[in-house]
Amino acid sequence: MKVKVIPVLEDNYMYLVIEEHTREAVAVDVAVPKRVRAAFGRREHSCGPRHRRPRPSVRTPRGSPDYAAEAHPLPGALCTRAWRPNTGSHLDHLHLPNSHPFQLLEIVGREGVSLTTVLTTHHHWDHAQGNTELVRLLPGLVVLGADERICALTRRLAHGEELRFGAIHVRCLLTPGHTSGHMSYFLWEDECLDPPAVFSGDALSVAGCGSRLETTAQQMYHSLVETLGTLPPETKVFCGHEHTLGNLEFAQKVEPCNNHVKAKLSWAKRGACVQVHREGRPS
């Protein structure tokens, strides 16, 4: 399983997951299918209720560089852990450089894969507004999610439902809190030494979580602690936004004596100074 991390908009991530034997690909949270919006807040062709979220304290590079060909990161353009498959080693403290804005369909073409499915975590425009255009460009594309408000939705998923893309298994985990229909996706591959991955959208980010907008605090607690919190500890988290430094700085203000927060904040700040190669398979 290969994961392409594609930063878009101000601080979003969308992803392309590739099954390397069948060359089938699945996109996660398509905000922009073929071009990068020029400015934050520009929402042409958006669908569903719009929501305002605070401007991030950390601004990631605009565009969508092709990042770490075999990486399974704990996402964050300024603080990323990239997993080297089958080696047990890590590349820590990575920084995504400003570079040519590769776009989702360009990456699909360059990889020579067949994009068959879109998995959408929730209906907000910055995670789903690209679905309609992408379906127009790729007739027959399947768009899946747990909320009828998702743009171009083909079929609504249920909690615990399992999907299959070649050797890749997907377990659908309903994680309400940010929205009532938020779905996270837990992926693993048969007979593979790589750790499993979860695409958590706005349910979970590095050192934080999305704002609770539509559900109760009890539901959000259940999503974070009892659903996502019980996944295997080696699971790699692919979140929807880059808020790492801001989250950790806030956490340090709340708990100034927390040594775990201090260490993670130091790790994140060091990561802003190190460049990562855009191309190449980690050796």
Active site residues: 122, 124, 126-127, 178, 202, 241
Contact 72, 85 (CB under 8 A): yes
Secondary structure letter of residue 79 according to DSSP: S
> 76, 33, 65, 15: which is closest to 198 by C-alpha?
15
Residues facing residue 201 across a β-bridge: 239
> Alpha helices of 93-153 — where are they, by DSSP H?
104-111, 125-128, 131-137
User: CA distances (Å), 34 to each of 2, 26, 27, 133, 168, in order?
Assistant: 20, 16, 13, 9, 26
pLDDT at 47: 56
pLDDT at 101: 38
Look up residue 18 and give its two tokens: 């590739």
Contact 224, 204 (CB under 8 A): yes
Question: How many alpha carbons fall within 13 Å on the CB side of residue 52?
Answer: 2
Low-confidence ranges of the chain (pLDDT < 50): 36-46, 48-101, 273-283
Residues facing residue 238 across a β-bridge: 199
